[in-house]
Amino acid sequence: MADRKIETVVDEQVARRLAAKAAFLNETLDARMRQQLLDWLGNWGLEFAVHVVKPKESLSSIARDYYGDLSKAAVIAAYNDITDPNVISVGQVLRLPEAKSKSPLPKGESPYLFGIHDRGGESLMAAAGRRGWVLVTESLGSNPNDWGSSSYADLADSGYGVIVRLNHGYSPNGTLPYSSRYADFAVRCANFVERSSGCHIWVIGNEPNLAVERPGGAANGEIITPQKYSQAYLACRAAIKSRSGHQNDQVVMAAIGPWNIQTIYPENRGGDWVVYFRQVLDLISGKVDGIAIHTYARDGNPANLASEARMGVPYHARRSMFRTYQDFMEAIPAESRHLPVYLTETNQNIAWEDVNRGWIRQAYAEINAWNADASHQKIRAMILYRWEQHSGDIWSFAKKTQVVADYRAALQNDYRWYR
């Protein structure tokens, strides 16, 4: 390989001292500087990963994916002699110094954004060759002697991502038990996890800021403040990770219900849902493995998915439509910006109309566009709510052929968070 001249500038006194010391040691300054630089460099950069540029990638997005740091785009540019970091070509081969080649995802995780709440609809994803995520909910109770469990191995073995939400129960029993039973609930969750198979991503509870999710019911139940939720979450996380083989499981913070102001407490007298979200993250900082978010539209009009409309006073800083997910994403503190984020519920916030307007296609395009920005924390899944029909639940789309057709059309796009 040909030599290349490297120049640097020092002040006049330093230049004289360098030249004099080299003469004193009977060395040339070039030889000494070369050796000093080689000693400083060591073996750095001798090992590298190889990456072939894909459509819509930038040096910043590649740096984020391999190094977890956007600023490392400058490293890639320097190593590959790229003078303009904004100009790279699809198919271009890049060498990434000191970066490890990407390893395959663990079984039970999917590279795709697509997902469905409940078993039964996953065949749609399989038919399109894009096996996304399946989210299953479980009602566990809080009996520490209960070892009941479930298996999701059929889903994981088939290539789907699997997320399981662990609830104490459903209304009026509470997504969490009364706070006096948090320790028992943590043991029950750990028992369930230990005996279950095919999943390592566990969401603890659901929308704890909603009155209907309180133990005892909406009218007279125990309020779940951020302090109480964090207490329950941390107990569950510690219990799960104490079980053999589950030390590396993702224990995910519950999604907070957007637009809901029912939980009022001294630190949040307006019941602001984003304030609640941020306070929970602050309370569990450094002891959280992932973040669940719920985002909804207000209607079935695809044009409104990109709406920046805001709520009324005093919540006028908050987005009032589908992009409510961005309010949550922007509230994530810096120390949690590396965590996996899952949109574990989305729909039109009304019963699905059996009409194919392209709403689902556009919703996935919106999240894919979010991920394409290298400065954004990646969203790993957007899960449509829901497949199964349950009493009192109006959102099943299993029998709505036009909604299914829209989902099939969305699946024609290769939307991935991981490549």
Q: Are 5 and 141 found together in one domain?
A: no
Q: Are 157 and 271 found together in one domain?
A: yes
Place of tokens 């099939």: 408
Q: Could you give the 3-state DSSP secondary structure of residue 79?
A: helix
Distance between CA atoms of residues 243 and 352, nearest Å: 41
Q: Are 213 and 354 found together in one domain?
A: yes
The pLDDT tens digits of the residues spanning 66-118 come to: 888 889 999 999 999 999 988 999 999 999 999 877 788 999 999 999 999 99
CATH number at residue 325: 3.20.20.80
Phi-psi region of 201 (alpha: psi -120 to 50; beta: other; left: phi over 0): beta
Tokens representing residue 37 in the block? 């630089």
Q: Are 31 and 120 found together in one domain?
A: no
Q: Are 297 and 150 found together in one domain?
A: yes
Contacts of 10 (CB under 8 A, 6+ apart): 18
Residue among 131, 232, 219 nearest 190 (CA): 232
Q: Are 31 and 78 found together in one domain?
A: no
Give the confidence band of 1 by pLDDT, cuts at 50, 70, 90. low
In this predicted structure, what is the pLDDT of residue 374? 85
Q: Are 151 and 85 found together in one domain?
A: no
Kindly state whether residue 284 falls inside one of the protein's structural domains: yes
Amino acid at 342: Y
Kindly state whether residue 245 falls inside one of the protein's structural domains: yes
Q: Are 143 and 86 found together in one domain?
A: no
Q: Are 82 and 36 found together in one domain?
A: no
Kindly state whether residue 417 falls inside one of the protein's structural domains: no
Kindly state whether residue 418 falls inside one of the protein's structural domains: no
Domain hosting residue 53, numbered range: 49-101
| pLDDT(229) > 90 | yes
Q: How many domains does the chain have?
A: 3
Q: Are 78 and 215 found together in one domain?
A: no
Contacts of 98 (CB under 8 A, 6+ apart): 44, 45, 47, 48
Q: Are 225 and 77 found together in one domain?
A: no
Kindly state whether residue 108 falls inside one of the protein's structural domains: no
CATH number at residue 96: 3.10.350.10
Average pLDDT score over the chain: 96
| pLDDT(65) > 90 | no
Q: Are 206 and 263 found together in one domain?
A: yes
The pLDDT tens digits of the residues spanning 256-293 come to: 999 999 999 999 999 999 999 999 999 999 999 999 99
In this predicted structure, what is the pLDDT of residue 172? 96
The pLDDT tens digits of the residues spanning 116-125 come to: 999 999 999 9
Q: Mean pLDDT throughout 317-325?
A: 98
pTM score, whole prediction: 0.85
In this predicted structure, what is the pLDDT of residue 295? 99
Q: Are 121 and 387 in contact (CB under 8 A)?
A: yes
Tokens representing residue 340 in the block? 């996996």
Q: Are 164 and 203 in contact (CB under 8 A)?
A: yes
In this predicted structure, what is the pLDDT of residue 130? 98
The pLDDT tens digits of the residues spanning 105-138 come to: 999 999 999 999 999 999 999 999 999 999 999 9
Q: Mean pLDDT throughout 316-343?
A: 97
Kindly state whether residue 345 falls inside one of the protein's structural domains: yes
Q: Mean pLDDT throughout 10-29?
A: 93
Kindly state whether residue 106 falls inside one of the protein's structural domains: no
Kindly state whether residue 415 falls inside one of the protein's structural domains: no
